[in-house]
Amino acid sequence: MTRTSSKSLKQRKKNKKVTLEKAIKQLVSQYFTTIEQHQGNGVLHQELIRRVERELIHQVMKHTEHNQSQTAKILGISRTTLRKKLDDYQL
């Protein structure tokens, strides 16, 4: 493989990386296509945070094989707070 093609391959891989910031930007942008349902009711921020937090907890629980102590530690919250959120989100 030549030096040029190696650099090109690295650049293509770099461009394909999905950063958290890019993913959030894309999802929030897509979410605004349905913004009409949220206009004037003042819950857009609360709803987005709730959905992101629920999925974050769900994914960390999967990653830790449902170990609540490890999940709470990764998330930087107490186990009591985690248990409350698990109940709130019905996870």
Mean pLDDT for the stretch of residues 41-59: 87
Is the pLDDT reported for residue 26 higher than 60? yes
User: Is 51 in a helix, a strand, or coil?
Assistant: helix
pTM of the model as a whole: 0.68
| 64/70 Cα distance (integer angstroms) | 6
Mean pLDDT for the stretch of residues 5-33: 71
A 10 A CB-CB count for 64 gives: 15
CA dihedral 70, 61, 57, 35 (to 10 degrees): 160
What are the domain boundaries of the chain?
1-39, 42-91
Q: How confident is the model at residue 36 (pLDDT cuts 50, 70, 90)?
A: low
The CATH number given to 42-91 is: 1.10.10.60
| 57/82 Cα distance (integer angstroms) | 8
Pick 88 or 41 by higher pLDDT: 88
